[in-house]
């Protein structure tokens, strides 16, 4: 027979265990999203093409099931743009959801692009579908799970979750979001961008952007200690050419508006922008751990941003 003290300890232990699980993303759902978004059926998710639209519908359904808010009709922010040479008109669509903050009207904007480069030249194996598993089904799947997490664990600051289109065509979705943002840009404290987070032979995940805002590094340094993946700061020093990632993905649109950013990603690998960037070539342990580490970073930032 249990004493009252034993029962209390059991209850507290169960509560603590549940809290611990609440701090993690659903590995099953994360992988399921990655597999769907990088499948051959989606034909590389090129902007304006059928597979891209199927990816958009998948993201939209996820936000709808969570019953999240949005400042755009049906979560969709359409935009148009011309190709670099001006000979082709594209129609892109961002999918944008919002979770209000419990303590602040300031915002964190979490972004990941869901488009990729589509179908192209065949490789030696005869494969012409550029699946874009790491680039960027990985970041998009993580964004969806983070939306799920914060729908159950409301943040102090409002969070916008923006699955962006047309990154591969010149960061067009990010520029459209910044151009037609639903709040004054002055309310945005930070952009957290995820682009390629599912594999690295050295076990390293980089966070770029702290060179311009050293206070962000101070917030995250403790989480980097003995982390897996190994969280490294860098790739943001001006004048270092291709080694400077400041304008390499969607966070550049925020940087150009002088909004602080943190870009989580890995260094290029042998399958970058090739048909071999497939789900079978990602590192599942790395991917799940990277997504959970980024979530921990966002939680810490939500706690510490605006503190004196």
pLDDT tens, position by position, 244-289 = 999 999 999 999 999 999 999 999 999 999 999 999 999 999 999 9
Q: How confident is the model at residue 235 (pLDDT cuts 50, 70, 90)?
A: very high
d(CA 194, CA 115): 13
DSSP letter at 35?
A: H
pLDDT of 307 reads: 79
DSSP element (H, E) containing 59: helix 50-66
pLDDT of 13 reads: 39
Q: What is the mean pLDDT of residues 227-242?
A: 98
Q: Is 150 helix (H, G, I), strand (E, B) or coil?
A: helix
pLDDT of 263 reads: 98
Token pair, residue 99, equals 């979770």
d(CA 6, CA 139): 44
Q: Is residue 13 part of a domain?
A: no
pTM above 0.85, yes or no: yes
Q: How confident is the model at residue 85 (pLDDT cuts 50, 70, 90)?
A: confident
pLDDT of 282 reads: 98
pLDDT of 219 reads: 98
Unique residue bearing structure tokens 């897996």: 228
pLDDT of 164 reads: 99
Token pair, residue 258, equals 């002088």
Domain hosting residue 199, numbered range: 25-304
Q: Considering its fold, how many domains does the chain have in total? A: 1
d(CA 120, CA 122): 6
CA distances from 274 to 197, 200, 212, 261, 268 (A): 16, 16, 32, 28, 11
pLDDT digits (tens, 9 = 90+) for 134-170: 999 999 999 999 999 999 999 999 999 999 999 999 9
Q: What is the mean pLDDT of residues 202-219?
A: 98
Spatial CA neighbour of 113 closest among 49, 67, 169, 70: 169
Q: Is residue 48 part of a domain?
A: yes
d(CA 226, CA 273): 31
Q: What is the mean pLDDT of residues 199-226?
A: 98
Q: What is the mean pLDDT of residues 76-85?
A: 92
Q: Is residue 87 part of a domain?
A: yes
Q: Is residue 9 part of a domain?
A: no
Full DSSP string of 11-25 = HHHHHHHHHHHHTS-
Q: How confident is the model at residue 52 (pLDDT cuts 50, 70, 90)?
A: very high
10 Å CB burial of residue 187 (0-12, 13-18, 19+) is middle
- Could you check whether the bond before residue 163 is cis, i.e. omega within 30 degrees of 0? no
Q: Is residue 8 part of a domain?
A: no
Kindly tell me if the per-residue pLDDT of 181 is higher than 80.
yes
Q: Is residue 296 part of a domain?
A: yes
Q: What is the mean pLDDT of residues 105-131?
A: 96
Q: Is residue 70 part of a domain?
A: yes
Kindly tell me if the per-residue pLDDT of 19 is higher than 60.
no
CATH number for position 131: 3.40.630.10
């Amino acid at each position: 027979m249990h004493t009252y003290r034993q029962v209390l300890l059991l209850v507290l232990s169960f509560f603590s265990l549940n809290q611990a699980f609440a701090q993690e993303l659903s590995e099953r759902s994360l992988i399921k999203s990655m597999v769907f978004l990088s499948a051959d059926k989606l034909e590389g998710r090129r902007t304006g093409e059928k597979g891209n639209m199927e990816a958009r519908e998948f993201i939209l359904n996820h936000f709808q099931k969570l019953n999240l808010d949005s400042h755009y009709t049906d979560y969709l922010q359409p935009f148009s743009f011309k190709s670099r040479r001006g000979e082709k008109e594209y129609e892109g669509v961002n999918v944008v959801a919002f979770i209000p903050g419990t303590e602040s009207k300031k915002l964190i904007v979490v972004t990941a692009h869901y488009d990729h480069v589509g179908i192209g030249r065949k490789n030696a194996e005869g494969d012409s579908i550029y699946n874009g598993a790491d680039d960027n089904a990985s970041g998009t799947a993580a964004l969806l799970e983070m939306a799920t997490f914060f729908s159950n664990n409301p943040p102090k600051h409002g969070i916008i979750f923006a699955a962006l289109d047309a990154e591969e065509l010149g960061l067009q979705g990010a520029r459209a979001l910044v151009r037609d943002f639903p709040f004054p840009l002055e309310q945005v404290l930070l952009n957290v961008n995820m682009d390629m987070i599912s594999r690295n032979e050295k076990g390293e995940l980089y966070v770029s952007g702290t060179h311009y805002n050293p206070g962000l590094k101070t917030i995250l340094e403790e989480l980097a200690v003995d982390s897996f993946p190994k969280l490294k700061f860098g790739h943001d020093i001006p004048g270092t050419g291709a080694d400077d990632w400041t304008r390499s993905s969607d966070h550049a649109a925020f940087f150009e508006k002088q909004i602080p950013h943190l870009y989580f990603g890995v260094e290029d690998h042998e399958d970058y922008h090739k048909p071999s960037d497939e789900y079978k070539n990602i590192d599942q342990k790395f991917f799940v751990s990277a997504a959970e580490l980024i979530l921990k970073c966002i939680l810490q930032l939500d706690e510490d941003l605006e503190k004196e």
